Structure 1
Amino acid sequence: MRKRFYILFVARGEDGQLRKIPIPVHYAYVFVAGALIGVLGLTGIARSYMRMLLKTSQYNELRAEKDDLKTRYTKLEQVAKERDIQVASLGSLASEVSSLYGLKSDPVLVAAASSDKVEDGQVNSSMNRLYTLKDTALSGATTAGLTLGLTRNVTTADWVRANSAPNLWPVEGPVTGSFGERIDPFNGEGAFHSGIDIGALYGQPIVAPAEGVVEFADFMGGYGRAIVLDHGHGVTTRYGHLKSFAVFPGQHVHRGDTIGYVGDSGRSTGPHLHYEVRINDVPVNPHKYLRVTYAHLGGFAAGS
């Protein structure tokens, strides 16, 4: 049986002569089969690569969604923490007003203590009512008969009149940031401000608002360089964003003593003092206790 061939003509040189190259049929079949296998292989590789790109894209989307959920969860945790501080502050304030007027417990406060289904509006409304009552009491004759004996059950209202009360302004200057809900200057979102910001010059001395012991004097996260004074009976004051310290932990200070200097350390937009008053480590509005400036300290002491 004669073998079958395909003839391939190839032109040679400039003279145009043709050269005949015989190609066995089975070689052609092998070539075609190889080409098909190559095409199918490349198609498979391309499809696998596309699937890998799709899975990578899906993975990146899931990872971004996870990061977003994590961020939202962190914010919700912060909101919950701030809500707890507000409710605790409301409880402290309710105790003060109760001691002044003999009021019954606020139903919102009772509900807050036993349930987490109290609306923010109810808490804010009750807090506003209590602050109004307290301001009225502290500005009138109601406080005249308060006992100033510092017993174990002393209230923060008693501290306003007591010699150890933190009622001296730590620095003189305008209040540039109020206590309570406000817009965070860094992210533009609502946040709970646990103290007040007092505008002051960089390096301006900060004085102790009352007699106490230095509990802390070091760097404290977003507070930057911070000082914590313990005035006894669960009352502490906190000072943030300092330039430097003038006291050390364990030191006893008297009202009017310099404890540090105004700065902008930590999470701060500029030189100022962040000032907090805490009752049993619960932040309360410091503005309610500020009665005397350093310039009038002598007159106050004489009249105490």
Structure 2
Amino acid sequence: MLRKRYYILFVARDEEGRVGKIPLPLHYAYGFVAAALIGAFTIVGLAGSYTRMLLKTESFNQVRQEREELRKNYQQMAKTVHDRDVQVASLGALASEVTALYGMRQNRLVATHSVTGKSAVASTSPVNAALNDDMSSQNVKATIDTFVALRNQAMSGRVSRALESGLSSSFAGDWNQLADAPSLWPIEGFVASSFGSRQDPINGEGAFHPGIDIDAPKGTPVRAAGDGEVTGASMGAGYGKEVTINHGHDVVTLYGHLSAISVVPGERVTRGQVIGYVGQTGRATGPHLHYEVRVHAVPVNPHKYLRTSFQQIAGELGKATTTPGS
């Protein structure tokens, strides 16, 4: 029979120098060594895991930084695309307006036989050149400026007599100064949404906005932008209660999301007359006025016409009714 093997530890126990003897079985020593090895391997494993975690954290931070840069680049690209869409939309609306005003077909003016007609045709050569330019931002802005100048020239009457487009004689002079021009702000308030491409407030999708949205408290009086005849005053599908006014010269204004309407179809209205009140009818997320200007049934940017506030109109009327010495 094999004898059990021991390791013996000698320990000095007291001042007299007596030595204590502690027998230690061999399997205890093996267990201690095994525990030490396991502890060492555990420490090495934890150190390796910590190192890997540091590497992953560094990699994660780098990926997050790259994602943030990509997000900023995407937002910048989205803003650039949005600005380009607005520019292109304005350009398209202006092109349609100028085309209608000059009576052009396929980017050409209707042929005339008078000398003034030839000069009018020559004056529109920038239109054809602009349409053939690339769509860079500078070219788009320059083209928009060209179309605005051409439109103002056409609507001021300087070339209308030379064209066979059927424009009425009331375009003589600066039409924007006449009472039937939609130059009066229908209400005063913050323009919450401008003309052009935008994100639809209902479904969040991209959409073209054919007018402007002006925020104002519910019940604020809405005034006619110019003299004209009411052609519509009813509940519409998208704009709720709406009013349309024909100002002549194929120019129509629309007032939407009204809470109440104070005019009827066929009624003649004057600039500054109350035609309804601000509301939230139709597809609207809050009380505001949706205002459009259409030329030859094509929506155009209302900002090109809005020049006068109601206070200015009231001041002019007050001066006109004041007699000397009063």
TM range (shorter): 0.5 to 0.7
Supply the AA of the counterpart residue of 1:6: I
Q: Within the alignment, does 1:147 sit opposite 2:166 as a pair? A: yes
Q: Do the aligned partners of 2:213 and 2:288 also contact (CA within 8 Å) in 1?
A: yes
The one-letter code matched in structure 1 to 2:38 is I
- Of 99, 106, 127 in structure 1, the residue corresponding to residue 128 of structure 2 is 106
Q: Quick one: structure 1 residues 122 and 77, their matched pair in 2 at CA, closer, same or farther if it must change by over 3 Å?
A: same
| Contact in 2 for aligned 1:238/1:277 (Cα 8 Å) | no
Is 1:7 matched with 2:47?
Answer: no
Cα distance in 2, alignment partners of residues 64 and 277 from structure 1: 46
2:223 alignment counterpart: 207
Bigger mean CA offset, 49-58 vs 230-239? 230-239
Instruction: Name the aligned partner's letter for residue 35 of structure 1.
Output: A
Please list, as runs of the form range in 1=range in 2, the aligned pairs for 1:236-247 lying within 5 A after superposition: 237=254, 245-246=259-260
SS in structure 2 of the partner of residue 106 of structure 1 = helix
> Compared with structure 1, are the counterparts of its residues 50 and 230 closer, same or farther at alpha carbon in structure 2 (3 Å cutoff)?
farther
Conservation of the 8 A alpha-carbon contact between 2:195 and 2:210: yes
> What is the CA deviation profile of residues 27-49 of structure 1, one whole-angstrom value per residue up to 9, with x for unaligned ones?
32431232022111222023224
1:158-169 to 2 correspondences below 5 Å = 166-169=182-185
What letter matches 2:154 in structure 1? A
- How far apart, CA to CA, are the structure 2 residues paired with 1:252 and 1:61? 65
Which amino acid in the other structure matches residue 11 of structure 2? F
1:133 aligns to 2:150 (yes or no): yes
Structure with larger Rg: 2
Cα distance in 2 for partners of 1:143, 1:236 equals 23
Alignment correspondent of 1:258 = 276
* Percent of pairs with identical residues: 38
Distance 2:17 2:132 in 1: 108
Where structure 1 has 5 or more consecutive residues not aligned to the other structure, the ranges are 112-116, 150-158, 181-192, 219-226, 300-304
Aligned to 2:87: 86
By how many angstroms is 1:278 displaced? 5.9
Q: What is the CA–CA distance in structure 2 between the aligned matches of 1:282 and 1:15, rounded to whole Å?
A: 116
CA deviation digits over 1:42-76, x for unaligned, max 9?
A: 22023224313432453354355435534543552
Cα displacement string for residues 78-128 of structure 1 (whole angstroms, at most 9, x for unaligned residues): 4324313322322332343343344244333234xxxxx522111111211
- Whether contact under 8 Å (2:216, 2:278) holds in the other structure is no
Does the aligned pair in 2 maintain the 1:169–1:291 contact within 8 Å? Answer: yes
Higher alpha-carbon deviation: 99-108 or 286-295: 286-295
The total of aligned residue pairs comes to 252
TM-score by length of 2: 0.53
Q: d(CA) in 1 for partners of 2:72 and 2:190?
A: 35
C-alpha change, 1:26 and 1:201, in structure 2 (3 Å) is: closer
Match of 1:120 among 137, 140, 148: 137
1:69/1:261 Cα in 2 relative to 1: closer, same or farther (>3 Å)? same
Deviation per CA, 1:110-164, whole angstroms, max 9, x where unpaired?
34xxxxx522111111211221232233334434686358xxxxxxxxx989999
Q: Secondary structure at the match of 1:246?
A: strand
**Per-residue CA shift, 1:242-290, capped at 9, x if unaligned?**
9x8335xxx969654123169xx979xxx99785546699863313334
Inter-partner Cα distance in structure 2 for 1:78 and 1:231? 35
Closer, same or farther: CA 204–128 of 1 in aligned 2, 3 Å: same
Matches of 2:266 and 2:277, distance apart in 1: 8
Partners of 1:91 and 1:109 within 8 A in 2 = no
TM-score by length of 1: 0.56
Q: What is the letter of the counterpart of residue 246 of structure 1? A: A
